[in-house]
Structure 1
Amino acid sequence: MKLTVIGFWGGYPKKDAASSGYLLEHEGFRLLVDCGSGVLAKLPNIVEPEELDAVILSHYHPDHIADIGVLQHARLIQGFLGKQFPTLPIYGHHFDQHEFTKLTYKTITKGIAYEPNQVLSIGPFQVSFLKTDHPVPCYAMRFEAGGKSLVYTGDSAFKEEFIQFSSNADLLLCECNFYGHQNGKSAGHMNSVEAGRFAREAGIKQLILTHLPHYGNVSDLVHEASIEFTGIIKLAEEFQTIAL
């Protein structure tokens, strides 16, 4: 399994960057996890939009789905230019029907509702879900493929259920929208110390901090997380690739 970070900023993208978007690849299958603002401008550096095999969304806040419409039009236009490819499945939860219906566009994309209490098969990936602590329905995801596991938190304040859900994962892609001295619970976000504790108690092998704040010195997040977790900690970076 290979992870490539496309965008990692929380809320909105910084200049020439992107908000949440992550490419997972295994056995030639390309799965885009979230599709925030700026993702479609960055994605072609790794893979063309028409080469994606599936998309899955944690929730419907704009910094996670803003470029879905752009993705749909990219595939539409490439079809007009003569390329042929199947309808792209976009997996999302059905607890916001207004947003869910937008995932289907002509024969270009089709919205498919995942059931959070069931394991979902997408290509070579087995995906499990955990409802997060966020102002709107949002789901963390555990991806299993090739004997490896990756957990993506989506957006969430810390909750104890994360520990068992993420137990012994090879990689934790953890939101970290707040610094250690801040309390992000009311906003539905985690701070750096909580992310470190999460990684330690779950027995994570490697921690990547993402959904980063737009202020302060983000490198401080690594130092703060290391108070709790002594394993590998990295900040998410554009086009960062990690092979598991």
Structure 2
Amino acid sequence: MLLTVLGCSGSAPGPRAASSGYLLEADGFLLGIELGNGTLAELQAVRDPFALDALLLSHLHPDHCADFSALTVLRRYHPAPSRDPRTHRLPVYASREAPERLVAAYCPAATDRAREDLGDVFEFHRLADGIVHIGPFEVTAAAAAHPCESYSFRIVYNGHSIVYTGDTGPSPAITKLAKGVDVVLAEASWTHAEDRPPDLHLSGVEAGRLAHAAGAGRLLVTHVPPWTDRTAVLAEARTEFSGTAHLVGQGESFEI
């Protein structure tokens, strides 16, 4: 598998830094994971956006899905798409409210929303705990510890595996999901403190603990907000995880 980082700024985009967005590719299949603020521009810089074979959204906070409206415009109105978006509707795997919420983001007026479902260029699939097959990938979704319906993912291809935490606080579910994984792609939104709000985000310490408990081969730290000290978060993670820990950067790629 090849993982490419379109954006990794947590909670909001930063200066010249897109929010959450990733590409995962194997066997000629291109899976988008998240499409936060600024990621569609980055996608167009590295790949043909019509080459996306599916899109996976962990949850519906804007830093993970805000560019979906722009993708809708591109798929509907591009004059010369490389693949007809109406005969190749993009499968979108997302939470229960995704069709309604994403329509509302695209159509602010209630009268327009009543006539809209985005079904001409997208095909929505509801996520739930359990396994779904997306192209060559086996994706196990597990409910994350976050204020809205949100999921973490374990993605397996040809015996290789990656866990993407999405946004989550520490939980037995994410610990179980990550057990024995090759790579943990973990959000770490702040440095560690005992008075951090529960069921929201991981600290650098908690991201490191997760990778250690999993016995992971590598830890990739992501989703650090622009107001958080990235080097401090990484240093925390390394105190808890003795394997390779790396702070991901926009535009980087990793073989898994």
Shift of 1:117: 3.0
Cross-structure match for 1:91: 93
1:185 is paired with a residue whose SS is: coil
Larger mean CA deviation between 22-31 and 159-168 belongs to 159-168
Shift of 1:161: 2.5
**Cα 1:118–1:164, aligned 2, differ >3 Å: closer, same or farther?**
closer
Q: Deviations over 1:183-216 (max 9, x none)?
A: 4433601101011111101111100111102224
**How many angstroms apart in 1 are the aligned matches of 2:149 and 2:90?**
23
Query: Are 2:160 and 1:158 equivalent residues in the alignment?
Result: no
- The runs of 5 or more residues in structure 2 that have no matched partner are 107-116
**Cα 1:82–1:117, aligned 2, differ >3 Å: closer, same or farther?**
closer
Query: Are 2:220 and 1:221 equivalent residues in the alignment?
Result: no
**How many angstroms apart in 2 are the aligned matches of 1:16 and 1:216?**
16
**Cα 1:232–1:219, aligned 2, differ >3 Å: closer, same or farther?**
same
Cross-structure match for 1:60: 60
Residues 36 and 65, structure 1, Cα contact 8 Å, conserved in 2: yes
Q: Letter of the aligned partner of 1:145 in structure 2?
A: Y
1:111 is paired with a residue whose SS is: strand
Residues 181 and 215, structure 2, Cα contact 8 Å, conserved in 1: yes
**How many angstroms apart in 2 are the aligned matches of 1:111 and 1:136?**
19
- The aligned runs of 1:24-173 (5 Å cut-off) are 24-78=24-78, 80-81=79-80, 83-85=82-84, 86-95=88-97, 98-99=100-101, 104-114=117-127, 116-173=128-185
Residues 182 and 191, structure 1, Cα contact 8 Å, conserved in 2: no
Shift of 1:83: 3.9
Q: Letter of the aligned partner of 2:184 in structure 1?
A: L
- The runs of 5 or more residues in structure 1 that have no matched partner are none
**How many angstroms apart in 1 are the aligned matches of 2:32 and 2:83?**
20
**Cα 1:235–1:28, aligned 2, differ >3 Å: closer, same or farther?**
same
**Cα 1:77–1:132, aligned 2, differ >3 Å: closer, same or farther?**
same
Which of 170, 193, 198 is the aligned partner of 1:181? 193
Q: Letter of the aligned partner of 1:17 in structure 2?
A: A
Q: What root-mean-square deviation, in Å, do the aligned CA atoms of Structure 1 and Structure 2 show? A: 1.8
Q: Letter of the aligned partner of 2:83 in structure 1?
A: Q
* Percent identity (aligned): 33
**How many angstroms apart in 2 are the aligned matches of 1:121 and 1:143?**
9
Larger mean CA deviation between 156-165 and 29-38 belongs to 156-165
Query: Are 2:178 and 1:200 equivalent residues in the alignment?
Result: no
Residues 51 and 83, structure 2, Cα contact 8 Å, conserved in 1: no
Under a length normalisation based on structure 1, what TM-score does the superposition of the two structures give?
Answer: 0.93
Residues 55 and 91, structure 1, Cα contact 8 Å, conserved in 2: yes
**Cα 1:161–1:16, aligned 2, differ >3 Å: closer, same or farther?**
same
Shift of 1:118: 2.8
Shift of 1:101: 5.5
Q: How many residues align?
A: 242
Q: Deviations over 1:35-59 (max 9, x none)?
A: 0000011112221211111101000
**Cα 1:213–1:47, aligned 2, differ >3 Å: closer, same or farther?**
same
Under a length normalisation based on structure 2, what TM-score does the superposition of the two structures give?
Answer: 0.89
